[in-house]
């Protein structure tokens, strides 16, 4: 153990392989932000979210929707644009240590993607079930949908897109083409958002009640399977990292 | 630094780096699988899982195991066949149960005020442990599909029996006979889910009379075997590392 401590300490002067501050800060952003969102739902869901024709619905829910649309488009544009604009044009000539550092940064993005997927696909989607099985809907933009479809889904799309772009623009592992399972893991859950169109069409013209296992919802199921593509990403990463670690020691 | 050089400077650092990646990978895999599995399960078997008055002897017993064996089969196909980790199914079920319990408490109870003893999730852990152990002992996808899939379906109802039995005792209410679970449903009205939507013990061919649950479990076990085969190969594909050709 003493040898371990000494050898690791010798590298302390250079930038750390894993930037723990970014990892912790990023995690806190998701957890604190969604805690605030849940608080907002709890307060304004019942007091202002039951009747879409009421003025307070416009104040507390439709304005929330308009603001989140603008912020999401801006965030996606700026974040994805920044990652692409600052891409490494000589990615194949980086040192093994720099490559390892970038794998850590890539995994920081993937951890954020895990937070985003959890809140989007698990927390807010099942929450939508209890809200709509309890409250009769009179609009497509219910309080539950404004959070689930138009906030948590775009957030995991933005996060997944950022992780994929980071890998594609900075890691030699992903330069031989487009990683099929990675694309599936990012594009599949992305397709859940357009599938909202089918959901709303069905609920508008077919039935207003909420039966969660209705075939109308199967599009969400199909695209949810795509999350399993993360296993292909893990396999690729494990092989790449093992290769980096097993080379001759410097 | 040459291309053959390592990215780390000592074996100790290699170990530290490797362990750190392990944690990052475990966290990500757990929560992404949780998200995908949960949305799949809630939208294919969710209504039977949400409410005790849907947890009947027939459709709950039939549907829940069939739709829940999917992700465990797929994750086993990667964790066991690539890494010899014998806990793919348990990992999936732990994730699913965590997602469900957080939701039932924070949202079903915390937002729409249904008591937790009306909306607790089904217990899938006994089947998960058995199917993982069968795969570990036999190292055979076929045996796991047949014996494990069978056990998955058959163990579901007994695994939930200690929880659900007290709610299946008969009560008489306003001259009508019903179960205690049905009575919960009457008292906690879900306006968006009227009674005509509820799918409980539907069907008229009650040939086997009192044997509704065993017959349902047996049928469920049969389909679970087939679904396991299918999803094993889905899992293999999802675990692939192929690239599309650059143009």
Domains and CATH numbers, chain A: 20-46+94-249 (1.20.1050.50)
Asked if A213's CB is within 8 angstroms of B44's CB, the reply is: yes
Q: How many CA atoms lie within 13 A of B16 on its CB side?
A: 18
pLDDT of residue B247: 56
Q: Which CATH class, in words, describes the domain spanning B17-202+211-238? A: mainly alpha
CA distance B224 to B152: 7
Record: contact A107-B16, CB cut-off 8 A:
no
Q: Which candidate, A145, A141, A187, places its Cα nearest to that of A165?
A: A187
pTM score, two decimals?
A: 0.93
Taking an 8 Å cut-off on Cβ atoms, the answer to whether A45 and B111 are in contact is yes
Q: Out of A18, A180, A229, whose CB is closest to B20?
A: A18
pLDDT band at B201; cut points 50, 70, 90: confident
A19-to-A102, A158, B7 alpha-carbon distances in Å = 10, 21, 17
pLDDT band at B222 (very low <50, low <70, confident <90, very high): very high
* Minimal-distance CA residue of chain B relative to A102: B7
Residue A129's pLDDT is what?
94
pLDDT at A85 over 70: yes
**Which of A2, A50, A122 best tests the B interface by mutation, with the highest count of B CBs <10 A?**
A122
Contacts with A108 from chain B: Cβ below 8 Å:
24
Give the closest-approach CA distance of A107 to chain B in angstroms.
7
Question: What digits encode the pLDDT tens for the residues B48-103?
Answer: 999 999 999 899 999 999 999 999 999 999 999 999 999 999 999 999 999 999 99
- Taken in order B121, B125, B126, B130, the sign of the CA dihedral is positive
Q: Do residues A242 and B3 make contact, with C-beta atoms less than 8 angstroms apart?
A: no
Sign, Cα dihedral of B6, B7, B8, B11: negative
Instruction: Judge residue A159's burial from the number of C-beta atoms within 10 Å of its C-beta, 0-12 exposed, 13-18 middle, 19 or more buried.
Output: buried
Q: Where are the domains of chain B?
A: 17-202+211-238
Q: Which residues of chain B are within 8 Å of residue A209 when distances are taken between CB atoms?
A: 192-194, 197
Q: What distance in Å separates the CA atoms of residue B51 and residue B68, rounded to the nearest whole number?
A: 17
Its ipTM equals 0.93
- pLDDT for A7 equals 47
Whether B214 contacts chain A with CB within 8 A: no
The answer, yes or no, to whether residue A250 has pLDDT greater than 60, is no
Contact flag B238-A228 (C-beta cutoff 8 Å): yes
| Bridge partners, B173 (sequence order) | B176
């Amino acid at each position: 153990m003493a040898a371990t401590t000494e050898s690791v300490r010798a590298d302390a002067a250079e930038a750390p392989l894993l930037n723990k501050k970014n990892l912790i800060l990023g995690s806190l952003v998701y957890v604190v932000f969604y805690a605030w969102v849940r608080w907002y739902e709890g307060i304004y869901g019942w007091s202002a979210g039951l009747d879409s024709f009421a003025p307070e619905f416009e104040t507390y829910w439709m304005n929330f929707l308009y603001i989140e649309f603008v912020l999401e488009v801006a965030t996606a544009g700026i974040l994805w644009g920044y990652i692409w604009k600052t891409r490494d044009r000589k990615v194949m000539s980086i040192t093994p240590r720099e490559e390892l550092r970038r794998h850590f940064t890539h995994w920081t993005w993937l951890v954020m993607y895990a937070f985003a997927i959890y809140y989007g696909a698990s927390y807010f989607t099942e929450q939508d079930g209890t809200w709509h099985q309890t409250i009769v809907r009179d609009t497509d933009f219910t309080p539950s949908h404004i959070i689930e479809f138009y906030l948590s889904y775009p957030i995991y799309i933005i996060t997944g897109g950022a992780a994929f772009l980071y890998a594609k623009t900075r890691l030699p592992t992903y330069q031989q083409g487009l990683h099929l399972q990675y694309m599936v893991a990012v594009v599949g859950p992305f397709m859940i958002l357009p599938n909202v169109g089918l959901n709303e069409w069905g609920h508008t013209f077919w039935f207003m009640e909420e039966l969660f296992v209705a075939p109308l919802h199967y599009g969400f199921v199909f695209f949810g399977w795509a999350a399993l593509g993360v296993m292909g990403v893990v396999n690729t990463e494990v092989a790449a990292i093992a290769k980096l670690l097993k080379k001759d020691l410097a | 630094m040459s291309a053959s050089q390592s990215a780390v400077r000592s074996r100790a650092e290699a170990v530290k780096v490797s362990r750190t990646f392990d944690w990052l990978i475990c966290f990500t895999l757990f929560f992404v699988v949780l998200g995908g599995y949960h949305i799949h399960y809630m939208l294919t078997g969710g209504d039977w899982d949400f409410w005790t008055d849907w947890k009947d002897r027939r459709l709950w017993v039939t549907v829940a195991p069939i739709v829940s064996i999917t992700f465990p089969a797929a994750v086993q196909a990667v964790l066991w066949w690539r890494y010899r980790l014998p806990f793919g199914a348990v990992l999936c079920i732990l994730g699913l149960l965590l997602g469900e319990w957080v939701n039932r408490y924070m949202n079903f109870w915390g937002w729409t005020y249904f008591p937790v003893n009306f909306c607790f999730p089904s217990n899938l852990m006994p089947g998960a442990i058995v199917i993982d152990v069968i795969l570990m002992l036999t190292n055979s996808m076929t045996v796991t599909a047949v014996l494990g899939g069978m056990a998955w379906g058959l163990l579901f109802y007994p695994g939930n029996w200690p929880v659900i039995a007290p709610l299946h005792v008969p009560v008489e209410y306003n001259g009508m006979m019903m179960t205690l679970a049905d009575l919960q449903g009457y008292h906690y009205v879900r306006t968006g889910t009227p009674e005509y939507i509820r799918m409980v013990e539907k069907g008229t061919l009650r040939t086997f009379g009192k044997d509704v649950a065993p017959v349902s479990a047996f049928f469920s076990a049969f389909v679970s075997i087939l679904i396991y085969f299918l999803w094993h190969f889905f899992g293999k594909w999802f675990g692939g590392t192929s690239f599309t050709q650059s143009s």
